[in-house]
Amino acid sequence: MEIARPYLLFLGDVHDALAAKTALGIVDWRPEWCLGQLRLPGCAADAKIPDMTIEAAVAAGVKTMVVGVVNAGGVLPEHWISTIVAALEAGLDVATGLHVRLASIPAIAEAAAKTGRKLHDVRHTSERFATGKGTKRPGLRLLTVGTDCSVGKKYTALALEREMRARGLAADFRATGQTGVFISGRGAAIDAVVADFISGAVEWIAPAAAPSHWDVVEGQGSLFHPSFAGVSLGLLHGAQPDAFVICHEPTRSKMRGVEHPLPTISEVIEATIAMGKLTNPGIRPVGIAINTEHLSDADARSVCESAARLHALPASDPVRFGVGPIVDRLLELFPAG
């Protein structure tokens, strides 16, 4: 799906910032797309952008109202429906990352049909993907992979895109999750794609491109996670990456939600190369992104330096220290890029 921008971010009346993490993530990485926020009375979240009515948003050129919240069960509160209907009637498309489909709500479906506006359910897609073919296609691709879920694969990919563009490289972030789709304006939530078509969906997300163009593909899950390895493997084969960055959270001992131990960075490198060779025999690691959120500055630097020495790869926390060393290595290995 392709979502028209700029955005008006709808925060509803959520009780804390965590519930609005989708909206806050969009503002972090695409502030130029976010013209305003719409909050109902009692809202405790603040994206630190102008508060704006629907009428003012339309006048300012907004194209889509994004429901930028998450909640248990992915439900849409009934008292938000009138605001969504008002946005449609004012001429805005509406997008959400919740599990509930917007068109399943009669009042919203009726308003969309009447106005001709688009409803985007980012966790679902109407795109019909082909099965993956694994045929080498032009362009360069980098994939973020992980030792676990929720270790920073999206933020690492976005930080790499930003640094690569700052250096004059042609680079585009390619979204494979719902928040990433809002940030990029295009993509598909890979974990909602039927298994046979995962690699084909990624080939669609990161299609043939100019020889020096980089697609920076957002990774999902982990090849070692018993719940999500299937998604991770299909993504790896479809991305056909020339390069990959390993993302790691050093304070964990077990993988999220299961009792399995966390794999080592070395194990992830070996498995990614072994499995990735199916669609790109030249696949290689270019860096390690370490999520040091729970460490002091001194400990964070020590962990990064230790990982760099052990694996002979640049290692950094993308948020804390940036990804400059990783992009340096990328340019060493792919000077034509």
pLDDT at 125 over 80: no
Residues 41, 47, 52, 55, Cα dihedral to 10°: -100
Query: Does the pLDDT of residue 337 top 70, yes or no?
Result: no
Amino acid letter for position 270:
E
CATH of the domain at 79: 3.40.50.720
Whether the CA torsion 264, 262, 174, 164 is positive or negative: it is: negative
CA 246 to CA 224: how far, in whole Å?
Answer: 13
Q: What pLDDT is attached to residue 1? A: 64
pLDDT of residue 75: 86
The answer to whether residue 32 sits within a structural domain is yes
Task: Please indicate, yes or no, if residue 295 is contained in any of the structural domains.
Answer: yes
Report cis status (omega within 30 of 0) of the bond before 77: no
Tell me which residue of 282, 210, 281, 224 sits closest to 252, measured CA to CA.
Answer: 224
Residue 189, pLDDT above cutoff 80: yes
pLDDT in tens, 311-327: 999 999 999 999 999 99
Cβ neighbours of residue 224 under 8 Å, at least 6 residues apart? 147, 148, 255, 260, 263, 267, 268, 271
How many whole angstroms separate alpha carbon 12 and alpha carbon 323?
35
133 within domain boundaries: no
Same domain, 230 and 117: no
Query: Quick one: three-class SS letters along 26-63?
Result: HHHHCHHHEEEEEECCCCCCCCCCCECCHHHHHHHCCC
Rounded-to-integer distance, Cα 163 and Cα 142, Å: 14
My answer on whether 75 and 197 are in the same domain is: no
- 282 and 147 share one domain: yes
Q: Does any domain span residue 134?
A: no
Q: What is the pLDDT of residues 77-95, one digit of tens each?
A: 999 999 999 999 999 999 9
Q: How many CB atoms lie within 10 A of CB 51?
A: 13
| Average pLDDT of the residues of the chain | 95
Same domain, 149 and 114: no
Q: What is the pLDDT of residue 175?
A: 94
What residues make up the domain containing 213?
140-333
Mean pLDDT of 41-63: 97
Write down the pLDDT at residue 72: 64
Q: Report the range of poorest mean pLDDT among 140-149, 188-197, 319-328.
A: 188-197
Does position 70 have pLDDT exceeding 70, yes or no? yes
pLDDT digits (tens, 9 = 90+) for 264-322: 999 999 999 999 999 999 999 999 999 999 999 999 999 999 999 999 999 999 999 99
Domain limit, last residue, from 89, 121, 153:
121
- Please give the Cα distance from 176 to 199 (Å, whole number): 11
The last residue of a domain, from among 121, 154, 185: 121
For residue 222, what is the domain's CATH number? 3.40.50.300
Domain count of the fold of the chain: 2
As a whole number of angstroms, the distance between CA 248 and CA 286 comes to 14
pTM for the predicted model, two decimal places: 0.84
